[in-house]
Structure 1
Amino acid sequence: MDQLEGRVAVITGGSSGIGRGIASACLEAGMRVYVTGRTPGHLRETVQDFTARGLDARPLQVDVTDLPAMLEAAARVEEETGGIDLLVNNAGIGLTGPVSAATAADWDWLIDVNIKGVGHGLQAFLPLLRRESPGRTGAHIVNTSSMAGLMPIVAGLYSMTKAAVIALSEALHIELAPEGIGVSAYCPGPTHSNIAAAVANRPAGYGPSGYERPDPGHLEAAAGQPYMSAEEAGRRVLAGVRRGDLFILTHPEFRDGVVDRHRTIEDAFPDERLDAERAAAIPFLTSSPVYGQDHRLPPPVHPGQAVDLTP
């Protein structure tokens, strides 16, 4: 999906943080962009920010946990555009802490937003991605996961939800490829956003949490850390869409840890001869061409970040 000008994008959770950064990159590429958000104030700020830069984002106030509302939002987009080309399921919450401290309400909220929210985005907008129109080729879905989905070292419940998004994205990548629809799992590392602060805006319908509200001092300190900007993260997401990446990984600092984890998984397989009869019965479970060498792209190189690794 290389030609983006004039095409239509819907970005859930696009009214702040990484979502706003992705929306910015899409608008700068000449796309028509709808951003969703649950908080009216964030939507207003986003529209005002883009308007001041000469960019026109279209706001949709909707909660991704509300499937009927998501379907209504999709109907509005369909009426105005006829279809979409890019869906970014980005809305999420960063509720973190020990698994043993979580209440039942914590489990429900995390799963409702981080997993079912992605599902609702797909249920509402995938039919619009499938719409064919003259001159339109290809479409793409980005599901925002996290490096915590690949490296579940802390924040067990959050990591669980983000690992689920990765598995879903891989399955959809295989499922939708014959239709010309690409799917990426986006796994960012630390990025300046409001994902932690948003935990304080917990809907009243969910019961008490087992976790303390984020310390304002901690949030202020995080703002001064050398994390990636939301704008840079957004540009890297769009570069992954253009390339058709299955995984969009933006933080090379995690590479060695991911390699160690995967080697730990590999070394856990029994050191024994394969059961040939069993293997012949389940090839559809044990491999896919999308993981083969022929389908792997070279690592992305972003402007200003190229490194000469020659001796």
Structure 2
Amino acid sequence: MDDVAGKVAVVTGGSSGIGRGIALAFARAGMRVVVTGRRAEHLDETSAVSRDAGLEVRALSVDVTDLAAMRAAADEIEAEFGRVDVLVNNAGIGLTGPVADATPDDWAWIIDVNIRGVGNGIQAFLPKIRAHGEGGHIVNTASMAGLLPIVAGLYSMTKAAVIALSEALHIELLPEGIGVSAYCPGPVHSNISSGTALRPERYGESGYAPRDPGFAEFSKTQPYMTAEEAGERVLLGVRRGDMFILTHPEFAAGVIDRHRAIEEAFPDEPVDEVRAAAIPFLIASPVYSAENRPPAPRLP
């Protein structure tokens, strides 16, 4: 999708942080952009920020855990703009802590938002992308925590699920000219950590202590990537059709070590050729082949 001007993009969780950075990058590239979110003040702020930048970003209040509401939003956007070309499933919560401390409600909440929310986005908007028959793109926001599940148990679980889902969907939709990316950012200035303070009542009590109110201010002093740069990297990945959109080269060595640990865990035994011949669809895909891997990205 190198030519993105005029394309219609929907960014869930686009009212702040990384989602807002993605929305602004898309709008600067000439795309028609709709963001969704739950907090009215964040939606209003995104609208104001975009206006101040001379950009137009439409804002809708939608909860990604509500499939009916997501489908209604998809219908409304299609009716207003005539089509949908790009979906960014960015909404998520950063609920972190030891796995053993999580309550059943912690499990339910993070799965509902971080996994089912992505599924709801796909169910609501993929039919709209398919409808015009001109291809499109889906970006599912995961995290480096999905590739290096070191300190964020349940969060890493959900993000690893999003990565696997994105790869499977990438393979499924290639014949239709619809690209799918797993977006795995490292630390970015956003409000994902403070979002857990707005826990819906239906998800009861958490097993984790409330985050120190000073943590958000401390995070602002850290040398994290800006949301604007993170958004530009998503735009580049969409234009390139990347299956993986990674942001921080600082994580490369750790991911390589992890992959080597996985590779070296395979039994040191000859391959059963008869068995391999019976399951070729399970053991490899052309999308991972060297000839199908694009060169490493670099922002202009």
The aligned counterpart of 2:179 is 182
Q: What are the equivalent positions in structure 2 for 1:130-169 lying under 5 Å apart?
A: 130-132=130-132, 137-169=134-166
Q: What are the equivalent positions in structure 2 for 1:1-311 lying under 5 Å apart?
A: 1-132=1-132, 137-303=134-300
CA distance in 2, matches of 1:233, 1:150: 18
In the alignment, is the contact (CA less than 8 A) between 1:15 and 1:46 conserved in 2? yes
Give the drift of 1:187.
0.1
CA distance in 2, matches of 1:230, 1:212: 27
Unaligned runs of 5+ residues in structure 2 are none
Give the drift of 1:205.
1.1
Identity %: 68
Partner deviation per Cα, 1:75-126 (whole Å, 9 max, x = no partner):
1011112221110000000000000000000000000000000000000000
Give the drift of 1:129.
0.6
Structure 2 residue identity aligned to 1:242: R
Structure 1 residue identity aligned to 2:27: L
Give the drift of 1:219.
1.5
In the alignment, is the contact (CA less than 8 A) between 1:34 and 1:58 conserved in 2? yes
Unaligned runs of 5+ residues in structure 1 are 304-311
CA distance in 1, matches of 2:295, 2:64: 34
Give the drift of 1:217.
1.2
In the alignment, is the contact (CA less than 8 A) between 1:174 and 1:290 conserved in 2? yes
In the alignment, is the contact (CA less than 8 A) between 1:82 and 1:128 conserved in 2? no
CA distance in 2, matches of 1:48, 1:276: 62
CA distance in 1, matches of 2:42, 2:105: 25
CA distance in 2, matches of 1:265, 1:129: 36
SS of 2:202's equivalent in the other structure is coil
CA distance in 2, matches of 1:241, 1:39: 27
CA distance in 2, matches of 1:92, 1:225: 22
Partner deviation per Cα, 1:217-236 (whole Å, 9 max, x = no partner):
12211111000000000001
- Which moves more between the two structures, 82-91 or 139-148? 82-91
SS of 1:91's equivalent in the other structure is coil
CA distance in 1, matches of 2:274, 2:83: 47
- Which moves more between the two structures, 248-257 or 78-87? 78-87
- Which moves more between the two structures, 94-103 or 211-220? 211-220
TM-score of the two chains, using structure 2 as the length reference: 0.99
- Which moves more between the two structures, 293-302 or 145-154? 293-302
Structure 2 residue identity aligned to 1:240: G
Structure 1 residue identity aligned to 2:77: V
SS of 1:130's equivalent in the other structure is helix
TM-score of the two chains, using structure 1 as the length reference: 0.95
Structure 1 residue identity aligned to 2:196: V
Structure 2 residue identity aligned to 1:117: G
Give the drift of 1:138.
2.9
CA distance in 1, matches of 2:81, 2:87: 14
SS of 1:84's equivalent in the other structure is coil
In the alignment, is the contact (CA less than 8 A) between 1:102 and 1:210 conserved in 2? yes
Structure 2 residue identity aligned to 1:200: A
Large movers: runs of 4+ above 3 Å: none
CA distance in 2, matches of 1:247, 1:238: 12
Structure 2 residue identity aligned to 1:66: D
Please, what is the CA RMSD of the aligned residues?
Answer: 0.7
CA distance in 2, matches of 1:126, 1:97: 33
Give the drift of 1:301.
1.2
